[in-house]
A and B are shown apart, each in its own frame.
Chain A
Amino acid sequence: MKNCLSSLLTLMLIFALGGNALAQTGITGTVTGTGGPLAGVTVSVRGTNTATQTDDNGKFSINAPANATLEISYVGYETLNEKVGGRNTINVQLTATSNSLNDVVVIGYGTQKRKDVIGAVSSVAGDKIAERPVATFDQALQGLAPGLQIAQRNSSPGELSTINLRGIGSLSAGFEPLFVVDGFPTDQRNATAVNPADIQSIEILKDAASTAIFGSRGANGVIIITTKTGKGKAQLNVNISSGISTVDKHLLYDEANSAEYVQYYKEYYTNLGQTVPPAIANYDGKTNTNWQDLVYQTSPFQNYSVSVNGGDEKVSYLFSGNYIHQPGIIIGEGFDRYTARIKIDYRPSKAVTLGINLAPNFEVTKRSSPKESDAGSLQSMAGLMPPIVPVRNADGTYATFNDILPGVFNNVGNPLEVAENWKENTNAFLSIFNAYGQVKILDGLIYKTSVSGGLSYNNHKLFWKAPAGPPIYGFPATTTLNLDNSQTINWLIENTLNYKKVFGKVHALDVLAGYTGQKVSSTALSAGTNTFNISGPETLGFGSSVNRVANNGAGGNTLISYLGRLNYTYNDKYIFTGSIRRDGSSRFGVNNRYHTFGSLGLGWRISEEGFMKNVSFVDNAKIRASYGTTGSNDISDFTSRASLRSVNQSFNGTQAIGVRNQDPGNTSLTWETSKQANIGFDADLFRSKLNIIFDYYRNETTDLLLQQNVVLSSGFPGVLTNIGKVRNKGFELSVNYRVIDTKDFSWSIGGNVTHNEQKILSLGGQDELFNFFGALRSRVGYEIQEIQGVRAIGVAREGHIPAAQPEAKPGDIVFEDVNKDGQISNFLGPDGVFLGEPNLDWIYGVNTNLRYKNWTLSALVNGQNGGSTFDFYLIQVANAVNGVNFSKKFWYDGRYVSESQPGDGHTPRAGGLTNSAAGAGFVSSLGVQKTDFVRIRNISLYYDIPKTAIRKLFITGAQAYLSMENVYTFTNYIGGNPYSQRPSAGGPGLIGGSRLVGDGRELALNSVGSAPLPKVLTIGINVTF
């Protein structure tokens, strides 16, 4: 690896030197900003390819005709157009802006100036992401843009977050937005592999005006990632950071210690009239294992980035490399990623540009337990294992549950033993590459053609070495090997024509027409066996030949699209955007493959009107309105065809194959369509000190791709159809205020908030859909996945035994007899009611930035409000029943003990969960947790090392920084990560209405012990040569 890295560096240096622009003489000058001279500012002669960059002192020299105009541009500053007017010396000062009107905003198949944008588009600059101690950019986006909800379901390094924009609008199809990396539409998995340090900007497109150009895949919004392009004098940038990941202990489960555990279970067995197990009755008073302390660890974090970039009128280039090493905060977990990027644009003539962009990426993910297993993940086991179980038995072997408490419960494993024996590695190679050519045919008319590809290979290996002794609960009884390999190839060809021209000084026209074709094909191969009699080897040949299985799968889809867009601006005041896209997808029924999507948008820059000229505090004000349709084809590849899969059958030992129904098929299956309306308002006030952006949106998803229940006697539990309607509406507000902005001192503060309301308007004639055995329901008039359960309303007291629960003892849970029939049903019966839902009413973020001379301090806070989850981990897994350990806050502190110690009035006596109303409490309001939290997401301190101190070292800029991620979380959620969700399980007999694609999780349910997100503290240095 070291060799590799050094040759890469050498290569980069060669390019850096070779790419140096030759200095020319002519006009000279200095470019300054508020903080002094600016280095690396691009100075170009308008209408030509002549360009240069300022040196360390902000000085430049360039050849230009006396009547020319110089365009002076620099990231983060207003672009200045300065007429030469015969001068030989031109000194200018640039004004820094955030959200500048002339900033270029990347939109679908092109760019626009911020002032002309009338869609709901949020931009996040790459530098806000690069220096955060996170492995993927999505984790850094949280809280930065309104309307964007990012949930890290799993704290383990390398896991994907769940991302959605403006609420979830689909019941059976995916809800993930479309990701576009440098013009290549892809998925979250590939997009998050982009090295954060390479990112120039991220644009989040939220309404139909901006996403309709993506047609079929725009309904859930679009996130565009644009990587940096080389510019000016060659620069070598090195960024090294290193730190530690730790667990935030106040977020862990507050597990009972041995004394509390013994006390609780003595009460428990007495209350249930059962014998107290000897290990509890005769507890020695000594053993007190804190399993969570053993499972969590502090681990190092390292991030090395190096890049070289530069360019002149002929060539611009960027080479970068990045290595991230992030062991988990749970023992045995780890994530390593190596990325590289080569991006070259070559302009052989004034009219022609050719370019390539290659980004290979290699990841190694390590796991030490089945992460999604209710009782098998290390954090779940640490929560279940009683503190009276020692780490090791007297004979030195690891102690398991049954060693100490035989016959009480299942044999929960020792997490340390599991971590030693569960070896699960995933190696992934992901790459996106692109080549394009662009020709200027006439003035203003550009033809561009590009071919892109995405390649991903995944290699997963699990080797479970079954420990000696009785099988461990939730784990295979024998040594098991599973191997999975998969690959996906994704080809895209695009041809676009773009015409931009200003007529008669006031009519600005920008027309786009294009044609694209995309083809995805994937294959997968899996094999496994078990029962290894020879210790050591981990290949299939050494395991049981009878139990050896192998299988493969294949999928594929194609998409053809025709697209067009017209942007027209009159006199910089009135803006019109219309876009149209016709898509055909192989995924749909032959009768309904094509669909046309489109949008219209209008903008009025009210600040440009004559009557506003006297309103001096308004620098810019714009009103935007748009309406349009977008679509979703996010279902599996071949669902629309009635098909049969292969199965095995033997007759008297003679093996044969057979076929069974795979998909029922639906030849008229077609696009899910989202009708989206957006009204927005942008304002820059008080010399752009205050920026306000407000959007109101209303999205109605119709023709939902819905797994419609059909009668079971048809032989199918459900058929994918286009019925039903869901509405999400709400608003987004973001405000930025630069309180102070002087040479030595500046302070800015910004915030954003999103409110979303969700409602199912129709399910095509059905009243409701069941998920997860009916514990989650999507009902017309309600939100998606309402939590259904029996409502616990208190604890029974002596003399106050509820009439509906005559067998209740004091301390048992009292449930609401909703239908007043004198008895309590389980959650499926008449006493089951809605108890909450996962839709977040509010999400918000606040950030601030304080600079004094060379010091900068920044902070980011984010939070959410109004969502709930059904926490089966608390009421069905680590539920203080059968000897398993438990959360004290949930089961112990407020419990009913006796009439003199009645507790908090809602926590039942020990054993009350099983004893109350035939166990109705197992699916009841007891388990509903609010997912509200406020988190100090990041605090960073930067120090810009003075240039005078480093100039002699050929260093043009250097910055040292200290950054802390997930600093502190304020929440009442028990378990630390309110985002935890159970992977979907469906139900027996294929019932359950599980989501067909996406990450397959139930939105409103958790059953795996949750682990807090790691707190990462890093120090780093960023040097530019």
Chain B
Amino acid sequence: MKLIKAINTKTCIIAAFITIFTPSCSKNFLDVVPIDRVAKDNFFKTESDLRIAVNGVYSAQRELYSDGTFFVLEEARSDNATQNVADQAERVAPESFTDDPGNLLVLDVYTRDYDIINLCNAIVDRAPNATGDQAVIDKIVGEARFLRAATFFQLVQDFGEVPLKITESTDFNNVTQPRASVDEIYAFITSELTAAAAVLPHVNDGSEGNEVGRATWGAAMALLGKAQLQHGNKPEAATALQAVVDANIYSLLPVYADLWVPTNWNSAESIFEIQFDPANQTGSPYTSSLVPPAEAALLGIVEGGNAFAIRPTADMVNAYEANDQRKDASIAIDGSGLPYIIKYLDVAASGTGARNHFPVIRYADVLLMLAEAKGEGTDAYALINEVRNRAGLGDIDASTPGSFIDKVQHERRVELAFENQRWHDLLRLPQDETLAIMNAQLSEQFGRPFQLTPKNLLYPIPIAEIQTSGGVITQNPGY
């Protein structure tokens, strides 16, 4: 009896313990829902989700520009700018054409480009299942297609053939794709931009989802023209660019220097630009990375430092005609007598960066591309002269010395200096001319002969990509 009582007491105590201290054994216990991120499979369900997703693509694109690698890969590579040779070897290599497949800047741009593309792919792939106003959804998909096309355009110009990865990566055992031909990539860019232009508005009205600064019809058409021109399809380029001009949305600002006022955002001349904004922790780094430290101190800029160690070449400084107002708006001379880039100078730049936006395509670019696409003629010179007159220069015409293409190239060089255009412009010239221009400028700069070869006109595919693909993805010739 006593024993039974004792057991009963114990049983009660045990039962009490078990009740109090046993975690619920339900399956839910292992389902810990993260609250600092959103599960991908629960997203892309509504038009609002898609809008937030496409905002993320703009953000990724801004970060790609903000790490400044383009200044090294496009400006320092070209004859416009030079990288201090005492700087990090990785940054000096593209400038002196010693970059190899292990170059980290090349790797960086390649990786970020495909990050943007993959974000776009997710939107385009998943949008058909989202609920909401179909017109709104179509517009968002149009933005994603524009951004994806812009990124492939960047890739094809820098690397030539690249994998045409146009579906979202989900099954990682099955993501390796061989490189597509340059023609295939341009065909894709063309169809994407055509589709985007069909759904994007001419002007964003500023309401939510239609904020100024998002991609527009004009951006898609101008980019389409640019891609066609780069691929050598001048008539198609002219058609697209002419449509942009005829739409009467854009105009040149009367004063060239006004383009570079730090707060002159999305002006009448702007067609698509990178939206920096220090007040949202998304400022531009270019003031601090392009202004030499001593000069920054002199100008009272808190965050100066010339992190890119990039300056205009002597060749660039000398390229401007006398009285070209664009020179002083683009280049200044520092205390040590060396030139530096001031297009993106914001003396109020703070720890979160400068306010200046960065132009991707602006109307002057469209006018000059249209001139180039149309070919020599009165129309073309009229377009060029519209740009020249704004810079305080007189007209040119067929009688002006030099070939038409040289005159266009020159105008583009001084008008669009340090806007990441020059290197790609040079690539439109016949190969031997491009090589000759670069060899001459490099020999002058380094004081020794340079013999670039056609291999140097493309960057190497990152070695990591080739190795990871197990050889499915191949290298550019010569590397």
Residues in chain A within 8 A of chain B (CB atoms): 351-352, 437, 439, 441, 447, 449-451, 470-471, 476-478, 480, 493, 495, 515, 517, 519, 530-531, 544, 546-547, 549, 552-558, 560, 584-586, 593, 637-638, 641-666, 708-717, 719, 721, 765-767, 770, 773-774, 826, 828-829, 918-919, 922, 987-991
The answer, yes or no, to whether B18 is at the interface (CB within 8 Å) is yes
Residue of B nearest to A546 (CB): B279
Is A661 touching B118 in the complex (CB atoms < 8 A)? Answer: yes
CB <8 Å contact, A586 and B30: yes
A478 touches B351 (CB 8 A): yes
Assuming the contacts A547-B351, A652-B275, A714-B169, asked whether A644 and B38 have C-beta atoms less than 8 A apart, the reply is yes
Those of B47-72 within 8 Å (CB) of chain A: 52-60, 62, 67
- Does B181 reach chain A (CB closer than 8 Å)? no
Q: In this complex, which of B35, B100, B117 has the most chain A Cβ atoms within 10 angstroms of its Cβ? A: B35
The residue that B350 contacts in the complex, of A439, A547, A560, with Cβ under 8 A, is A547
Closest to B279 in A: A546
Taking the closest CB of chain B, its distance from the CB of A386, in whole angstroms, is 19
Q: List 23 A-B contacts (CB under 8 A).
A: A437-B17, A439-B17, A441-B14, A449-B18, A477-B302, A517-B25, A519-B29, A530-B351, A531-B302, A552-B36, A557-B32, A637-B32, A645-B37, A655-B277, A655-B279, A658-B55, A659-B52, A659-B56, A664-B172, A713-B465, A714-B176, A719-B172, A991-B464
Name the residue of chain A whose CB is nearest to the CB of B67: A988
Asked whether A643 and B473 contact (CB < 8 A) given A560-B23, A713-B114, A991-B111, the answer is no
Q: Is the CB of B35 within 8 A of A554?
A: yes
A-B pairs, top 6 by smallest CB distance, nearest first, are: A715-B118, A658-B55, A658-B56, A517-B23, A651-B211, A989-B111
Q: Is B4 an interface residue, CB under 8 A from the partner? A: no
Could you say which of A439, A493, A642, A989 has the most chain B C-beta atoms within 10 Å of its C-beta?
A989
B38 contacts A643, CB within 8 Å? Answer: yes
Looking at the assembled complex, report how far the CB atom of A746 sits from the nearest CB atom of chain B, in whole angstroms: 48
What distance in Å separates the Cβ of B367 from its nearest Cβ neighbour in chain A? 24
B52 CB contact (under 8 Å) in A437, A493, A560, A658: A658
B206 partner residues in chain A, CB cutoff 8 A? 652, 654
A578 to B177, CA, bound (A): 49
Which of B102-110, B243-251, B378-386 is near enough to bind chain A?
Answer: B102-110
Question: Which of A352, A546, A719, A987 interacts with B13 by CB under 8 Å?
Answer: A352
Question: What is the number of residues of chain B that contact chain A, defined by CB distance less than 8 Å?
Answer: 94
Within the complex, what minimum Cβ distance (angstroms) separates B439 from chain A?
20
Q: Is B265 an interface residue (CB 8 A)?
A: yes
Find chain A residues with CB under 8 A from B473 CB. Answer: 711, 713
Q: In the complex, given contacts A648-B59, A714-B172, A989-B107, what are 15 additional A-B residue pairs having Cβ atoms less than 8 angstroms apart?
A: A437-B13, A441-B14, A470-B293, A478-B303, A553-B36, A649-B58, A650-B280, A651-B213, A652-B212, A652-B266, A661-B115, A710-B468, A711-B176, A712-B465, A826-B89
A642 and B39 form a contact (CB under 8 A)? yes
Residue from B56, B213, B282 with most neighbouring chain A CB atoms (10 Å) = B56
Tell me, rounded to whole Å, the shortest Cβ–Cβ distance linking A789 to chain B. 13
Instruction: Kindly provide the distance from the CB of A949 to the nearest chain B CB, expressed in whole angstroms.
Output: 51
Binary CB contact string for chain B from 173 to 216 against chain A (1 if under 8 A, 0 otherwise): 00111000000000000000000000000000010000111100
Residue of B nearest to A594 (CB): B30
Contact (A593, B105) CB under 8 Å given A658-B57, A713-B163: no
Residues of A within 8 A of B121 (CB): 715
- Residue of B117, B176, B275 near A650 (CB, 8 A) is B275
Which residues does chain B contribute within 8 Å of A648, judged by CB atoms?
Answer: 59, 280-282
- Answer yes or no: B119 CB below 8 A from chain A CBs: yes
Please, what's the 1-or-0 string for B75-90, where 1 marks a CB less than 8 Å from any CB in chain A? Answer: 0000000000000010
Asked whether, in the complex, the Cβ of B56 is within 8 Å of the Cβ of A709, the reply is no
Chain A residues whose C-beta falls within 8 Å of the C-beta of B10 in the assembled complex: 351-352, 439, 441
Report the bound CA distance from A447 to B13 in whole Å.
10
The smallest C-beta distance from B142 to any residue of chain A, in angstroms, reads 16
- Contact of B133 with A by CB under 8 A: no
Contacts of A352 in B (CB 8 A): 10, 13
Which residues on A sit within 8 Å (CB–CB) of B214?
A: 651
Q: Are B21 and A449 in contact (CB under 8 A)?
A: yes
Q: Which residue of A lies closest to B49 (CB)?
A: A659
Judging by beta carbons under 8 Å apart, are B22 and A495 in contact? yes
Which A-chain residue is minimally distant from B111 (CB atoms)? A989
Which residues of the other chain, B, contact A918 by a CB distance below 8 angstroms? Answer: 89, 98
Complex Cα distance A484/B279, Å? 22
Residue of B nearest to A588 (CB): B30
List B contacts of A441 (CB < 8 A): 7, 10, 14
Given A712-B111, A715-B119, are A641 and B351 also a contact pair (CB < 8 Å)?
A: no
Question: Do residues B37 and A638 form an inter-chain contact, with CB atoms below 8 A?
Answer: yes
**Shortest distance between the CB of B280 and any CB in chain A (Å):** 4
Quick one: closest B residue to A827, CB to CB? Answer: B102
Check A585 against B30 for contact (C-beta < 8 Å).
yes
Q: Are A495 and B21 in contact (CB under 8 A)?
A: yes
Q: Is B5 an interface residue (CB 8 A)?
A: no
CA distance A708 to B43 in the complex (A): 26
Q: Is the CB of A715 within 8 A of B104?
A: no
Of the candidates B13, B212, B213, the one whose C-beta lies within 8 Å of that of A439 is B13
Interface string of B150-174 (1 = CB under 8 A from A): 0000000000001101000110100
Chain B residues closer than 8 Å to A493, beta-carbon distance: 21-23
Query: Which chain B residues numbered 293 to 333 have a C-beta less than 8 Å away from chain A?
Result: 293, 297, 302-303, 305
**Known interface pairs A451-B21, A493-B22. Does A643 touch B280 (Cβ–Cβ under 8 Å)?**
no
Q: Is there contact, CB below 8 Å, between B111 and A651?
A: no
Chain B residues in 8 Å Cβ range of A650: 213, 275-277, 279-280, 282
- Report chain B residues within 8 Å CB of A826: 89, 100, 102
Instruction: Flag whether B262 is at the interface (Cβ < 8 A).
Output: no
* A641 in contact with B32 given A531-B351, A648-B59 (CB within 8 Å): no
* Measured CA separation A554–B213 after assembly (Å): 33
Q: Tell me if A713 and B53 are in contact (CB < 8 A).
A: no
Is residue B462 contacting chain A, with contact meaning CB distance below 8 A?
Answer: yes
> Which residues of chain A are within 8 angstroms of B469 by Cβ–Cβ distance?
711
B119–A558 contact, CB under 8 A? no
- A584: chain B residues within 8 A (beta carbon): 30
Please indicate the chain A residues that have their CB under 8 angstroms from the CB of B89 in the complex: 826, 918-919, 922
Check A586 against B111 for contact (C-beta < 8 Å): no
Asked whether B463 is an interface residue with its Cβ less than 8 Å from the other chain, the reply is yes
| Least distance between B353 CB and chain A CB atoms (Å) | 10
For residue B463, give the distance in angstroms from its CB to the closest CB of chain A.
Answer: 7
How many Å lie between the Cα of A727 and that of B461 in the bound state? 34
B459 to chain A, nearest CB (A): 14
Q: Does B407 contact A (CB under 8 A)?
A: no
A767/B465 in contact, CB under 8 A: no
CB neighbours of B21 from chain A (8 A): 449-451, 493, 495
**8 Å CB contact of B22 from A515, A519, A531, A585:** A515
Is B277 within 8 A of A643, CB to CB? no
- Contact check, B32 vs A661: say whether CB atoms are below 8 A apart: no
CB distance from B67 to the nearest CB of A (A): 8
The answer to whether B40 has its CB under 8 Å from any CB of chain A is: yes
CB distance from B81 to the nearest CB of A (A): 20
> What A residues does B165 contact at CB under 8 A?
713-715
Q: Chain B residues near A717: list those with CB within 8 A.
A: 111
- Chain B residue numbers with a CB within 8 Å of A655 are 277, 279-280
- Shortest CB–CB separation between residue A437 and chain B, in angstroms? 6
The residue on A at minimum CB distance from B122 is: A661
Inside 8 A of B23's CB, which chain A residues have their CB?
493, 517, 519, 560
B467, CB-defined interface residue at 8 Å: yes
B352 touches A (CB below 8 Å): yes
Instruction: Contact check, A560 vs B17: say whether CB atoms are below 8 A apart.
Output: no
Query: Quick one: closest B residue to A655, CB to CB?
Result: B280
When chains A and B are docked, how far (Å) is the Cα of A641 from the Cα of B37? 10
B320 to chain A, nearest CB (A): 29
A478 to B115, CA, bound (A): 33
Q: A553-B36, A716-B118 are in contact. Are A546 and B350 (CB under 8 A)?
A: yes
Contact B40 A643 (CB under 8 A): yes
Q: Is the CB of B462 within 8 A of A712?
A: yes
A714 contacts B118, CB within 8 Å? yes
